[in-house]
Structure 1
Amino acid sequence: MKTMMLATAVMALTAGAALAQDVVRIGTEGAYEPYNYIDQATGELTGYEIELGNELCKRAELKCEFVQNAWDSIIPNLQSGNYDMIMAGMSITEEREEVIDFTQNYYPPTASIYLALSADQNVGEGAVVSAQTGTIQAGYVAESGATLLEFATPDETVAAVKNGEADAVFADKDYLAPIAADSNGELVVLANEVPLGGGVGVGLRETDTELKEKINAAIQSMKDDGTLNTMLKKWFGDDTQTF
């Protein structure tokens, strides 16, 4: 009985831990432009999710700070309490919802694309396709018939195509399309777009229900007053999907 009562008490304390702290910490990768990345001029985190996170915290009346964390350990470090939320271009999927919780999406479901050196590159059986470890794109490639080549960072997945390790890279359209545009024709977007995931949301521990309610309300308020769409267009262009 004591053990059960103690476990219940610990869960209750954990559920309110994020809000009881002076600062709510937000884990992000800092390597996925334009979602989140390091400004080379200032050395500071910037991007859509950094601006959005600051605005959400302002509306939720929370004091927040961003914590940079490698992608491959971003969920385990949330679970272990190193930060309280994840804002890192993380798509909402059933598999992830088995271990963490999500707010409503703050980026609508979008397409993933292939990038290669040639427009007629095969990306099916016999091809080698790079993707970032632990992403929905990596899971898709693994089931596509192509050979999956995984890397810890998104930059490495693109470099693998440039240096001939991979025939193509598969990732979010919003990440790869600007890279193709800036490559002076070296890299081309293939025609086959693939819709994946349920949009991008804030990841939280399943016990942090009060924090989830606050952030959900802040996201909804930005959707209602149009400021979220304005921010989306600022970072992703006028042709981006909006709410």
Structure 2
Amino acid sequence: MKRLILASAALAVSAGMAAAQDVVRLGTEGAYPPWNFINDDGEIDGFERELGDELCERAELECTWVTNDWDSIIPNLVSGNYDAIIAGMSITEERDEVIDFSQNYTPPDPSAFAAMSEGVDVESGVIAAQTGTIQAGYVAEQGATLVEYATPDETIAAVKSGEADAVLADKSFLAPIVENDPELVWAGPDVALGGGVGMGFRESDPELRETFDAAIQSMKDDGTLNELIAEWDVSTQF
């Protein structure tokens, strides 16, 4: 109980420090279910929409949502088009050189290969991945032929059309696609990449990062973050 009281006090203090910012704009891709996507009503939905709304409520911040293409999501954060990224972004040393991250709000999610045949050579074949992802970096480092696409849907289409032998992406993204498409199968072993998924912030906004850090920690402490992870099946639990 004492731990929860102290966490709540820290959250209140950090929220007060961020109070000068009237509206916090949260940037997401809106094209990576179940993490974030646009629903039938044209609204941002998914695990991160629910998570972001809860974090803002706990931090007593008014938040709005902004969508942005993945390949420019970090540059547009830095240039001020929104105040934080919450878009299934894995924490990596390379990204951390440009922006600051919150603590992770999911543990590292396994990456997996999906293909039209189980026998595809994922080590030296043609592998599709979304531009600017840790999966694209992994494929390039391992020596396979990397073909990059702007959206995750395009990576799937590349495999279906024969432009790529397999796609490498978060398994939580690929799982419902493989399950519902009889032509797609898993190929090769899963790959552990990154340090979990976190929120991204400008390096000039440490107080805002600390505010959301405290809110994330409060959700970890009371178990609601694990409940949300299980509800959306985006990762293993903490």
- Same fold (TM > 0.5): yes
> Residues 155-198 of structure 1, C-alpha deviation per residue, up to 9 Å, x if partnerless?
00010000110000000010111110010x21001241000000
TM-score between the two structures when normalised by the length of structure 2? 0.91
Counterpart selection for 1:197 from 166, 175, 194: 194
Aligned residue for 2:105, secondary structure, equals strand
Q: What is the number of equivalent residue pairs in this alignment?
A: 222
Q: Could you tell me how far 1:213 is from its partner in structure 2?
A: 1.0
What TM-score, normalized by structure 1, do the two folds share? 0.89
One-letter code aligned to 2:27: G
Q: For residues 215-243 of structure 1, give each alpha carbon's deviation from its aligned partner in whole angstroms, at most 9, with x where no partner exists.
A: 00100000000000010011017xx4101
Check the 8 A contact 1:24/1:64 in 2, yes or no.
Answer: yes
Given that residues 18 and 24 in structure 1 are in contact (C-alpha distance below 8 angstroms), is that contact kept between their aligned partners in structure 2? Answer: no
Whether 2:168 is the aligned partner of 1:166: answer no
User: Which structure 2 residues correspond to residues 1-243 of structure 1 after superposition, within 5 A?
Assistant: 19-39=19-39, 41-125=40-124, 127-183=125-181, 185-236=182-233, 240-243=235-238
Partner of 1:3: none
Q: Which structure 1 segments of 5+ residues have no match?
A: 1-16
Identity %: 65
How big is the shift at 1:124?
A: 1.6
Shift of 1:99: 0.4
Displacement of 1:18 after TM fit?
A: 7.2
Q: Deviations over 1:81-109 (max 9, x none)?
A: 11000001000000000000000000111
Give the strand-richer structure, 1 or 2: 1
SS in 2 for 1:56: helix
Q: CA RMSD in A?
A: 1.3
Secondary structure of 1:131's partner? strand
Instruction: Say if 1:27 and 1:69, in contact at 8 Å, map to a contact too.
Output: yes
Letter in 1 for 2:159: V
Tell me the secondary structure at the aligned position of residue 142 of structure 2: coil
Q: Secondary structure at the match of 1:170?
A: strand
